[in-house]
Structure 1
């Protein structure tokens, strides 16, 4: 492995990435997209011996410069945040070099073929598979026989140029192919790694510092959060909801490359709970977007600024900073309202999320939604609660009121106050009590549905977990 690591370190692609990182040094300004400014391109081109075209708008116009920059960022040789690029640590030894090399290869595949992660990794695998065969088969034929997404990514944006030729040049720059265009030992190692599915690729490990910026909002509204790499996109959705004070009543989706992740219950293309941040950011995706409310389209840009070691004294996730008030949703542009940035309150709610209580509330809200489906207005919704609770709770049931034992025999709806009341028997008195004021034995159906009722009223729940083997109102779900 040491020999392979040495080959990876000395390949032209990483040598150019190292040269760029050395040139950047303690820091240089970058654009909002995290690439070099147009004014700095000629100097960077001189460092790499790259001639600049007469008309250059951005780094993307100079592939010979864009690819080393992309490789440097992916390999960790450059760190980009707050509008500046800073030289990172030099390449380590052994497996760490190979992992950095593979990340850089995947990142450059992505900018070369402009595809989604699984598609560009499949292109890399197919190219190396063809080179490893004896005799080498027709690469174009192999690509044509793959999926449409891979075929489309392979051919997109090349014009008259042969994409197979571009792929071979890329592999040669990374030392996966020799001058005779035969696969090298490093290329065979890469092929073995790429044969694993993208979901089983090595993931980033640590705490991801994310900058989340709400697009099109002025003054700028952003939040910085520290999130474990083991968190899923579904977890990140919950964090964003808290950080920007959204109420979660609308649909949402993440965009990673050309792939969309969301809640499969609402027919999302890919399940947000089945991919971690470590997997998303491991190879090349340093940015992704999140949209909340497909009507008002609140767009969030999410950037991975750096990965840090976890602090054993810190409970994650945590909001480490931010600025700007967040807009209040559903109030209309004519009378905008704003929620002031309150870092302490955000972290209080994130701690609540980390404790697992948020998961319980999510389950409770799901059951509440089942109960009040097709019920309009407070009176209809209270009637719906009464109907479901009468069926699900097997009266009489024991409870306590202010610490005193009672037996609840049935529930009734109070039309005047629009709340549920309970017929109770007790040693000292018998009569109607507020259902909300009662307490039930933990772990029972009545305790869980009582907590759902409390959440419906806007109060904190009492139950800490649903009853074991309970069907969660299965008969009431349409």
Structure 2
């Protein structure tokens, strides 16, 4: 293991020790006959009324999941108080969920049901002013429980969403509206074929109810994609139940109406998006590109068709993948859960809670955290410059963000006299001294590595320097090579002179270049003196001395 890998392992261990706050038992198993849960009768009524619209079967199922996790934590921590969880209690819950999944004792769906039952109980205690624990611990629980079952929702991606706005946005999507229409149309029962499809004679009626254009040549539901997909989705989430004779309302049918609980509508859209990902699961590159554009559309790094069409030349992405990615995005726009804003694909804020639930975790969700070091080739472009200032840099994937900051300072000839930050995965990464003034999801930059975020071609992150001038560097991973390198970062290509410090940002730089190269401009001489320029020599804004910059990078000793 290289020295960098050893340092990385130490940092990871330090982060885990810092966040643990207590032991994480990995051998917890549930007991039968757990002690009573405080306020269990009141909680049962609350769940039935506020979440499941009087459906006691589903309510009792949720209560059973809650009893499982409470029993497990009581075994690990006999003094566990269900109304005042501690950090150690929550870590034990997380370990319990992870253990059960790893041992295949429960399906992922049941693990999620258990986690959601604990979330519901926490929400009940909070709403009824019965929570006796620390508010920060409650927030920690909400994050950790969802993360343990792959349902983490980045606050930076979702933000604060008004429930009325979210409801209106969900109802306006085609998948949710069609589920509601199907639940109403199914009535008491409808006849089906032995292959579990609706009888062909009824297809025109259903098509009209769902506002689907039916081709005169359609002879079966299986050959009409819009009807087939909503039918399969309705079966998957128990809106309908189908046998070889008839389709009848499913266990969840009563929940599907315009005033349904927001969790139900959210699940409807998430399940639809999940089906789209399931359809392409055999093509990991397509899953990666499609999900990458969706995540970018929630984190301030949206991509447009013009960006995506350049992937083959810039990143070596297969043109078939580009074509299929654009097809999926067009379908998402038609379905109403993706919008096109300024020619870029963006997920509306009100729909992000549902969309985040549906995005699959990438293979090796920890990025290259546990992989061998790799050599990354990144393109760093300085936003707003004309002609554009950019550099192509090769560097090790284990380069920490504070080291990458030093590399970028040399690369763009900055003098590190202003504040800076990185933005990736909806969070900011800053020096320790800036953490106290940061808001939202913020972390110390020396605790993260560039390879934690740039894991596949097309991944992007942002580096901002001098918040007054607003120098914004867009960093895009072009390719990954193995093995990594312990050598210094190296610039293989680039163009454009790095702007001067304190020149006023991209607009100020354009104005400066024009002024110092125009002897008739009254500011010419003054600006040349300010910049320490030779009186007779014109400023070549397109010039870039790559060898000299690489020599400076070697001196960093990183």
The TM-score bracket by the shorter chain reads 0.3 to 0.5
Provide the TM-score with structure 1 as the length reference.
0.38
Structure ranking higher in strand proportion: 1
